[in-house]
Amino acid sequence: MAIFTRVYLMRHGEVANGGQKRYNGHIDVDITEKGVEQMRRLAGLLDGKPVSAVYSSDLIRSVKGARIISERLGLSHTPIRTLRERSVGKWEGLTAEEIKERYPEDYTAWRADLLNYRPPEGECLHDVRERILPEYLRIVAAHPGQEIAMLLHGGVNRVILAEALGLPPLNLFRIDQNFGALNIIDHYEDGMAVVKLVNG
């Protein structure tokens, strides 16, 4: 039987400004009490699974959830800066409407090329893919035949899922990731990825 690594890929809980649809990027926004409950739900879903390691980004909305999950599983967790959400530079903390109002030309350029446009001092989607995917695959390769949990971000998860599904990068916007979402991906030793669950 082929050896595979199972990844429980999760999104952090609801953030304090989640209802405002702000681009938080690298801003350290905490999760709400509802977000904490969403993390407890995920911890319960993983309880009893043979999870050998828990990873997160180093932002508090990711770290807090990873702590809740790792404590339930009796594990420590590893925060990794490389796994942060996409940086949108000077746009961080703004809504799409605020970006459109304050940076009208940049907003138009962004909407015209979602894949390649970089916000001022930020990253384009290609940048995010080149940052996230090698680190993600390095972690997967370090756990052959094991199950691991990763508590990350909506944009980061979409990049990983699109790659696993063989979708063109622009199609990642077609993948929904609710706060507290659970995805399951099996990675086989021949490089094949099988997505078992999306946005659960």
pLDDT bin (cut points 50, 70, 90) of residue 1 is low
What is the average pLDDT across 67-95? 96
The pLDDT of residue 34 is: 97
- Write down the residue that tokens 């681009």 correspond to: 23
pLDDT in tens, 99-119: 999 999 999 999 999 999 999
What is the pTM for the complete model shown? Answer: 0.95
Bridge partners, residue 54, by sequence: 77, 149
**Mode of pairing for the β-strands spanning 4-11 and 182-188:** antiparallel
pLDDT bin (cut points 50, 70, 90) of residue 54 is very high
- Please state, rounded to an integer, the average pLDDT across all residues of the chain: 95
Hey, what domains does the chain have and what are their CATH numbers? 4-87+124-197 (3.40.50.1240)
pLDDT in tens, 11-35: 999 998 877 788 999 999 999 999 9
Alpha carbons 109 and 118: distance in angstroms, whole number: 9
Virtual torsion, Cα 43, 171, 128, 10, nearest 10 deg: 0
More confident residue, 189 or 131: 131
Q: What is the DSSP letter of 143?
A: S
Virtual torsion, Cα 199, 187, 169, 127, nearest 10 deg: 110
Closest by CA position to 141, among listed 187, 91, 94: 187
The pLDDT of residue 17 is: 80
What is the average pLDDT across 122-132? 97
Give residue 143's identity as a one-letter amino acid code. H
> Residue 89 in contact with residue 67, Cβ under 8 Å?
no
pLDDT bin (cut points 50, 70, 90) of residue 95 is very high
151 CB-side CA count, 13 A: 33
